[in-house]
Amino acid sequence: MTVMAAAEGWSFEVGDSDFEAEVLERSRQTPVVVDFWAPWCGPCRALGPILETLATEFAGGFLLAKVNVDEAPDSAGRYQVRSIPAVAGFRDGEVVCEFVGAQPESAVRQFLAELIPSPADERVTDGDARLAEGDLDAAETCYQEALELDAKHALAQLGRVRVAHARGQIQEAQQALEQIRTNSAEVEKKIDHLAAQLRTANDTGENEADLRDTLTRDPGDLDARLALGRHLAARDQHEDALSELLEVVKRDSDRDGDAARKTMLDIFELLGNESDVARHYRQQLARALYR
């Protein structure tokens, strides 16, 4: 790795062999801007000094990794670089923003504003850490402080919903979640996931033993079977819940079956695309619906 004096240590060259360590791993601590360039590229020579000047100005607020695409074709291919200069901002090992072509300094500054955590972002990060530790009061304080800095901060709003969920305030959490507005696809995914958690956490309140006794006497009681599936889902007994809910769909594709199908979709969201259980029941659900 060669440190470039122009950026006073904040800029360095990266190749295929050290991209993982110098970009992905380091971005888990500090945002990393990757400049995909080549010596023969005129626009690259125009953009490079702007990036290096800003790296010096920000003094460690971000790191600048210079990737010569001629010498690092695997890294360029991995991130589908087809035109240079191409610039990608990495945080937590993932690309969070990018642009292609030489840009004026004002546009690069806007790009950096999207990449580098703001004071409100930092308070949200602190809140997430407190929430993971189970300190709900401290987490709520962090999220509130973030919202005082940025009243529309979607992740801070989402954090407060997660605190309400952890406290068992399901209806309040659902109402607050519906008020969050965002243009970020990443935040939308988090909202969808939490919405599924809240819906499945909304237990029927019925006794499991009573529901099973009812089904023993009358296996065709779809209301009881739907209630049992929801009850199991609320207790994270996902596979058992899916089994009961699938049976409802098979027996009634209309009212009860539609409610069961929606709960199954929520469980699939919670389990994720890599889950073998989710894959199996997705296939079973499709067969039941389109038989």
Backbone angles phi, psi at 133, to 5 degrees: -80, -10
Count CA atoms closer than 13 A to 71's CA, side-chain side. 14
Q: Cα separation of 169 and 178, whole Å?
A: 15
The CATH topology of domain 119-184 is 1.25.40
Show me where the domains of the chain are located: 5-115, 119-184, 208-289
For residue 85, cis peptide bond before it (omega within 30 degrees of 0): yes
pTM over 0.75: no
Equal CATH topology for 119-184 and 208-289: yes
Residue labelled with tokens 């089904």:
215
For residue 44, indicate whether it is catalytic.
yes
Q: Residues 14, 41, 146, 215: which is the catalytic one?
A: 41
Q: Cα separation of 101 and 284, whole Å?
A: 48
The CATH number of 208-289 is 1.25.40.10
Residue 168, number of CB atoms within 10 A of its CB: 9
Element (H, E) at 33: strand 32-37
Q: Cα separation of 289 and 110, whole Å?
A: 48
Domain 5-115: give its CATH superfamily.
Answer: Glutaredoxin (3.40.30.10)
Q: Residues 33, 44, 180, 232: which is the catalytic one?
A: 44
One digit per residue, the tens of pLDDT, for the chain of length 291 reads 333 434 457 899 999 999 999 999 999 999 999 999 999 999 999 999 999 999 999 988 999 999 999 999 999 999 999 999 999 999 989 898 999 999 999 999 999 988 998 899 999 999 999 999 999 999 999 999 999 999 999 999 999 999 999 999 999 999 999 999 988 788 899 999 999 999 998 776 789 999 999 999 999 999 999 999 999 999 999 999 999 999 999 988 677 678 999 999 999 999 998 899 999 999 999 998 887
β-bridge pairing 63-68 and 11-13: parallel
